[in-house]
Amino acid sequence: MTKRTSWFLSVAATVIVLMGGGYAALRHSRTQVHALINQSLQEAERLHYNDRLNAFSRNPHIYVDPALKAYLFAPVSSRKIKSYTLQTTEGKTTYLFKDSIPEEKARKLLNEYLLADIQPVRVEEVNRLFQEQLEKRHVSGTAGVFYSDKSARTRTRAGILPTSSAYKTPVCWLDLTHSLQLQGWADYDWLTLLRHIHAGFYGLLCLLLAATGIQVCLYLKKRQNKPEKGLSIDLKQQILLIDGMQCAISSLDLQLLYLLWEKKGECVNREDLKTACWPHDPQADEKLDAHIQTIRKVLQDFPDYRISTARGRGYYLTAASC
């Protein structure tokens, strides 16, 4: 496996981890937001219940059966109960619960049943409290509530109609008879989801982005510093660069190499080389052979370049890039 392939695989793995982690973080955030919406509705309903109960206790003009009023404000113990008996002037009624529940919760169910006719639920007020609780929990978007009374066959809505994408809370049964029902909905935005993502994910995101950024910088720096492939000859400056590396070479050897490089891949006649370098030297043949050998030694560290002999004709320079 090449280094380049390894680098791309590591980046791909980082992206996959980010996508997987992001998906898991969004799912966890959505669960958290739904729990906060449920809590907001429960708190709004509790506050409205207390307001109604207090308003009733302070209003001397509302007359009810004294026995019922005694139930509304009777002390509550911490025990759990399985049933609740309501005694009025009209008779006695016993309500059974599926499971044992705290007496405080049972009392609230009874009180809601009694308050339904005395101090009924004000849906707009519940919606206002619901909106306040959502804001406290940093859940933004649109929201509303539904309230229904099965005994009166009425259903009331506060707020705009919910969209198909809105989250709806579980139905909240308010009274003993399950006649009074309250349900909330919220169409929260993406900002809410991002706001409730666990801080650990953002820490992981920063670490992965930093690691990826370092990898990219190192890769680009390595590519930038990587010598360019190829052979470059500057006769004026007497410089020979092979694959970005400067090589030590005499001026005459450089001239010979330049003549071969000009016609790279083609045979250069011996006579042409001798005429260019030793036009009137009787020992030109021996000198040419010696200099060719020297040039070959210079090129021996670069296997992509070599000088081949064409017997009886001359020499030619071959390169892998040719």
pLDDT, tens digit, 9 for 90 and up, residues 36-78: 999 999 999 999 999 988 887 777 666 566 666 666 777 778 8
Mean pLDDT of the chain: 83
Burial level of 123, CB count in 10 A (0-12/13-18/19+)?
Answer: buried
3-state secondary structure of 309: strand
DSSP 264: T
Nearest to 314 by CA among 269, 273, 249: 269
When pLDDT is averaged across residues 95-102 and rounded to a whole number, the result is 84
pLDDT of residue 47: 95
Among the residue ranges 27-36, 110-119, 221-230, the one predicted with the least confidence is 221-230
DSSP secondary structure letters along 147-216:
EEETTTTEEEEESSPPPTT-EEPPPEE-STTS-EEEEEEEEE-HHHHHHTS-HHHHHHHHHHHHHHHHHH
pLDDT of residue 227: 59
How confident is the model over 275-317, as pLDDT tens digits?
888 888 889 889 888 998 998 888 888 888 888 888 888 888 8
Domains and CATH numbers, the chain: 3-62+119-195 (no CATH), 231-319 (1.10.10.10)
pLDDT of residue 240: 86
Alpha helices in 196-313 (DSSP H): 199-225, 251-262, 270-277, 284-299
How confident is the model over 136-159, as pLDDT tens digits?
999 999 999 999 988 766 677 776
Beta-ladder partners of 217: none
pLDDT of residue 257: 87
Under a CB-based contact definition with an 8 Å cutoff, are residues 25 and 205 in contact? no
Among the residue ranges 110-124, 164-178, 218-232, the one predicted with the least confidence is 218-232
pLDDT of residue 152: 66
pLDDT band at 132 (very low <50, low <70, confident <90, very high): very high
Under a CB-based contact definition with an 8 Å cutoff, are residues 120 and 99 in contact? no
DSSP3 helix / strand / coil % (the chain, rounded to 5): 50, 25, 25
CB atoms within 10 A of CB 267: 15
When pLDDT is averaged across residues 114-119 and rounded to a whole number, the result is 83
pLDDT of residue 239: 87
Cα–Cα distance, 118 to 148 (Å, whole number): 17
3-state secondary structure of 64: coil
DSSP 175: S
Cα–Cα distance, 283 to 191 (Å, whole number): 87
pLDDT band at 89 (very low <50, low <70, confident <90, very high): low
pLDDT band at 164 (very low <50, low <70, confident <90, very high): confident
Among the residue ranges 18-32, 100-114, 135-149, 223-237, the one predicted with the least confidence is 223-237
pLDDT of residue 198: 79
Gyration radius (Cα) of the chain, Å: 45
Cα–Cα distance, 216 to 204 (Å, whole number): 18
